[in-house]
Chains A and B, each alone.
Chain A
């Protein structure tokens, strides 16, 4: 095979390798960053950052290294804002001279998702302006999608160039070369077939496929089912260099009042199913604070009706309180939508997350004696009590046992069961106890370690076996 043909084939291979990698990379998001306002928000008519360099604290742009892909910006704000995307030159112009030369402008955006394309890998900055007369609170989150165009174009150029070089190498330069070119054609044919096969491969997709959980009504709900959550304060502090535990508790109520409890020894939030009908469970919900000081003991309880399928909580007189998230649908699929709040006209939903970043199942052992496979929720959207919700509304969200969907720990805020008791919020529980069967504990096996060990042993066994076999053959 001629050198030129070999070079051409090699270039084709390089180009196709880049192409395959580029297509694979396109299946994941990049960036995933966000920023927003703190405290008072952005003042009316103000810019973030300001361009006035005479300011004692010279403003700086946060730079974000963006890839040449399509980007989505999720804008959440209480008013309207203008968002400008600046390249490095534009950022410099703004800071130095106050000149605005964005590569992309979004003016008058409210609550919406906008898209923009980046064409070069570089640092980009975001300039926000509040054109309104009110202070603007905003939260922007950006992520990149799709194919990185520079890698795509590079791979295609290299592939095409390689194909041209290969074809040029076939140009006969005399009758004596005919036989050789025939031999080369045979060699190129498999390469061409390979190229066609690779190019025709469908783009890898990592889109989550999920089935909606068919279990909406928990099968574990029976008369007598209960769950206790321990909220005993475990605060620690140093006093004069000595570690002390704080046993004080402040309970905040929805009516604005609060109580202070000292020398608290136990704080239990409990619900128990006292009656179960076809689609409704009656729960006895209670909150008790036990203290060494009799005067600081506290107890409150109430009966509520909870829709088994929709988890709507109402007082016994039928007054609707809201949705409880003390349990969610069990055995959800990754990405499955769950309803966190469903009180018309408001509805808030989230998607389920069952895997950690490294692809492993989420496990929790913090509130249970043994680790159980769990899930969380993310990507919260919708409204609750007339207001937009986000992850902050739920303090990040709790952890739910996978097989039962039961809340087992982590932040849970402003749940309807708390509201039923008139309590504003509670801290994160230390642990929970229940008479619900959560199934066998998940045995957490570090498969990487196990397989690695097996591989090492395997390699030693293989080498020793070969040596023994050879020795035996020699003896024969």
Chain B
């Protein structure tokens, strides 16, 4: 994919805080769709987001959002963005409704009252809308954060740890809203999170950062295929018979049976693909399933950033 197809691009962006190199020639590309942005604590995710929002200036390199320079054209970018930060310091004496009214006014949202009410219902804050924010739980504050990020129908929404402190049902609701907004409104998302299982459900693109550098980024399917564990699943009429034969095969690393299904890890995929059907045919076995098992995001993360 060329840079023109990405809505966010960082070109060798580095950021130093004193002697601390937070970003080291970061080349982040975020396409349209829902992008997961993962990395360990201190990898540089929040710093990268700060640069994209124009809150931090790159020490070197260039960052663009929608083709606009993130520091010099920050205002134009923010007109098209919605943001939910990891730490949400909303004014405690405001109510959720009042706060959203202010945000809506800033964005110039038309029919603001309707939109605010819809958002509050969407994030399940309708009952608490008149209470001061300082009385909210952490999860409620997160939900308010999502509401204010989406209130203006932005083109791109940046979410930093959106599902932290939210119960499983709440997280499912969150992710449902994200998927719906992406599908119905065409809103793009950049989600920075540690909860990898959430990304699997929604993301189409994954960017992995470690020590201030992008270690891997690509469509999630490609990454899954690349970093899968080379594990194959075989379902035959007589698994025990086939396993005895496969155990002695040179191309086989490991083979075992679970619930009448054969799992094998191979060291030569080509030979595996050609030999196994022959062996099954020779044994007069019925070959029902013969496929590669794709890797999870956990596996991808573990093999790229997690193992360093």
Contact = CB atoms under 8 A, between A and B. Distances in A.
Task: Place the interface of chain A in its size category.
Answer: under 10
Interface string B1-41: 00000000000000001111000000000000000000000
A475 interface: yes
Contacts of A236: none
A476 B18 CA distance: 8
Contacts of A446: none
A471 B18 CA distance: 7
Contacts of B19: 474-475
A474 B15 CA distance: 12
Contacts of B18: 471, 474-475
Task: Place the interface of chain B in its size category.
Answer: under 10
Nearest to B17: A474
A279 B64 CA distance: 100
Contacts of A475: 18-20
A475 B21 CA distance: 10
Interface in A321-346: none
Interface string A253-290: 00000000000000000000000000000000000000
A100 B19 CA distance: 90
B134 to A, nearest CB: 14
A471 B19 CA distance: 10
A174 B19 CA distance: 64
Nearest to A470: B18
Interface in A429-476: 471, 474-476
A474 B17 CA distance: 6
Contacts of A471: 18
Please indicate which of the listed interface residues B17, B18, B19, B20 has the most CB atoms of chain A within 10 Å of its own CB: B18
A61 B37 CA distance: 88
Contacts of B17: 474
A475 B18 CA distance: 5
Interface string A376-401: 00000000000000000000000000
Nearest to B19: A475
Nearest to A473: B18
Nearest to A179: B130
Nearest to B131: A183
Nearest to A474: B18
A474 B19 CA distance: 7
Interface string B35-67: 000000000000000000000000000000000
A15 B137 CA distance: 38
A176 to B, nearest CB: 12
B19 to A, nearest CB: 5
Nearest to A471: B18
A228 B283 CA distance: 138
B267 to A, nearest CB: 46
9 contacts: A471-B18, A474-B17, A474-B18, A474-B19, A474-B20, A475-B18, A475-B19, A475-B20, A476-B20
Interface of B: 17-20
Interface of A: 471, 474-476
Q: Which are the 5 A-B pairs with shortest beta-carbon distances?
A: A474-B18, A475-B18, A474-B17, A475-B19, A474-B20
Given A475-B18, A475-B19, 7 more contacts: A471-B18, A474-B17, A474-B18, A474-B19, A474-B20, A475-B20, A476-B20
